[in-house]
Amino acid sequence: MPPDRGLPQLIGIEAAAITNVRLIMHDALEVLENQLAPGSLARVNLYFPDPWPKKRHHKRRLIQPDVVRRMLEVLEPGGRLLVKTDHPAYGEVIADVLGAVAGAARLDPDEAFRDLPLTGFERKYLDQGRPIRSFAVLRPSGS
C-alpha cells in the first residue's frame, strides 16, 4: 500500500526502514481465517478493540474463545498475544476468555509491554484518567 493513502503508521515504518511489519487493512476475522498460516506470526498486538457494550452486540466482539484460539494457532511457538483495553467490563471478559483458552500461558503484562511504545489512544486515555488493562499470553513452545 503506498504511503500516500494517509497512513502515518506506514510512513513511519518506511522511514525507519522496518522490514518485519506488514499492515493489512481488511476484516480481521477473514485475515485470521484465510490469510495467515499456522505459526506464521511472532506477535499479535490488539490495542483497544471495540467493546461493543450493548448486550445485543456482544457477538461482534473480537475477543471470543474461537477467535483467540485461532490467534494462538497463527502464532509461532513462543509467540505472544498482547491486548489492551480501557473498557472495564470488556476487560473482565478479556481476562475470562484468555484465562479459559487452552494453550494460552499467561504472562506478566507489565513485562510483556515494557519495551513497546504507548499508542495515541493510550496516551489520550491516560491523560483523561481512564484506567488501562493490559493482558499478555504466550503460545508455549511445543504447542
23-71 residue pLDDT tens: 788 899 999 999 999 999 999 999 999 999 999 999 999 999 999 999 9
- pLDDT value of residue 55: 93
User: Which of 4, 27, 50, 86 is the catalytic position?
Assistant: 50
**Domain around 64:** 37-138
Are residues 31 and 44 located together in one domain of the fold? no
Asked whether the beta carbons of 122 and 92 are under 8 A apart, the reply is no
83 has a pLDDT exceeding 70: yes
Q: Are residues 27 and 48 in the same domain?
A: no
Domain presence at residue 26? yes
CA distance 47 to 45: 6
50 is catalytic: yes
Distance separating alpha carbons of residues 48 and 132, to the nearest angstrom: 9
Q: Assess if residue 23 is contained within a domain.
A: yes
Kindly state whether residue 117 falls inside one of the protein's structural domains: yes
Q: Are residues 129 and 84 in the same domain?
A: yes
CATH number of the domain enclosing 55: 3.40.50.150
Q: Which pLDDT tens digit goes with each residue over 89-116? A: 999 999 999 999 988 899 999 999 999 9
CA dist 59 and 53 (Å) reads 10
